[in-house]
Amino acid sequence: MKLQDRVAVVTGSSSGIGRGIAIEFAREGAKVVVADRQEAPKRGKYYDTDLTTSTAEEIQKLGHECLFVQTDVSNDQQVVELIDKASGHFGSLDILVNNAGIHIPGDSQSMSLAEWDQVTAVNYRAVFVASKYAIPHLKESAAGRIINISSIHSVRGGGGPAYPGSKAAVVNLSRDLAVELGKHGVTVNAICPGMVETAIQDYLTVEQIQECTQKNLLPRIGKPRDIGRACVFFASDDAEWITGTSLIVDGGWLANIM
């Protein structure tokens, strides 16, 4: 197993991409801390329509340890408590995956300032806060890793005035943290997913989803497991000499339109 006995915190992991990451980490032997606002998985109208078990329950089925910590990543104190509980419960911390994210549809005129602040707080500021408080623990690990989940929107417009900017900021924060932490042996990388089968796609129409699928060079929508396996790679010893980079995992969507 690639991650045997390593301790990983995955934010936003009750549902969607985060759930996929947490489960794949567990398959590789990691002890996983599931952090989310609620333990029950979100159900979407297109995807994850019939989920009933929590991420922790799925991990326990695999025979691995798991801890759920209720966390709103936009609340600084709750993030601090998350890191403290994770390291205190398992005795160490090796991997931080900043996955939690939100999208509020709208344009520059329809989106309120409060909504812009909300998206930025969750998608970008929370990444810094979690990283800040996890870094002292990661420095003590023999395989410290930060993996930040960005988006293909980080390199293109579309998605409203808040979402693309917040995701581009995550990529650049990853680079800066990589510069800071390289001398400590901690790697920092970002993953930029394309469209993935999660409840976050509920705001789209069936026609829009079909159009995106057709643009993919690999003609299907991504699955949470696809992102999970990319995270396993970055978290494993296979990627010990890779830092400060971002990996696009989108089925070829960007290559087809750029």
pLDDT digits (tens, 9 = 90+) for 160-215: 999 999 999 999 999 999 999 999 999 999 999 999 988 878 777 888 888 888 88
Which pTM does this prediction carry? 0.96
The first and second tokens of residue 124, run together, are 């970008």
Q: Nearest to residue 147, comparing CAs of 138, 156, 155?
A: 138
Report the percentage of the chain scoring pLDDT > 70: 99
Higher pLDDT, 209 or 104: 104
Whether 163 sits among the annotated catalytic residues: the reply is: yes
Task: Find the catalytic residue in 47, 124, 133, 163.
Answer: 163
Domains recognised in the chain with CATH numbers: 7-257 (3.40.50.720)
pLDDT digits (tens, 9 = 90+) for 72-93: 999 999 999 999 999 999 999 9
Beta strands (DSSP E) in the chain are: 7-11, 31-36, 66-70, 95-98, 145-149, 187-193, 246-249
Position 211 scores a pLDDT of: 84
- Provide long-range contacts, Cβ within 8 A and 24+ apart, for 169-175: 169/123, 169/124, 170/98, 170/123, 170/124, 170/127, 171/246, 173/124, 173/127, 173/128, 173/131, 173/148, 174/146, 174/148, 174/150, 174/244, 174/246, 175/244
Question: If you average pLDDT over residues 108-134, what whole number do you get?
Answer: 98
pLDDT digits (tens, 9 = 90+) for 5-57: 999 999 999 999 999 999 999 999 999 999 999 999 988 877 888 899 999 99
Q: Decide if pLDDT at 258 tops 60.
A: no
Question: Do 192 and 147 meet the contact criterion of CB atoms below 8 Å apart?
Answer: no
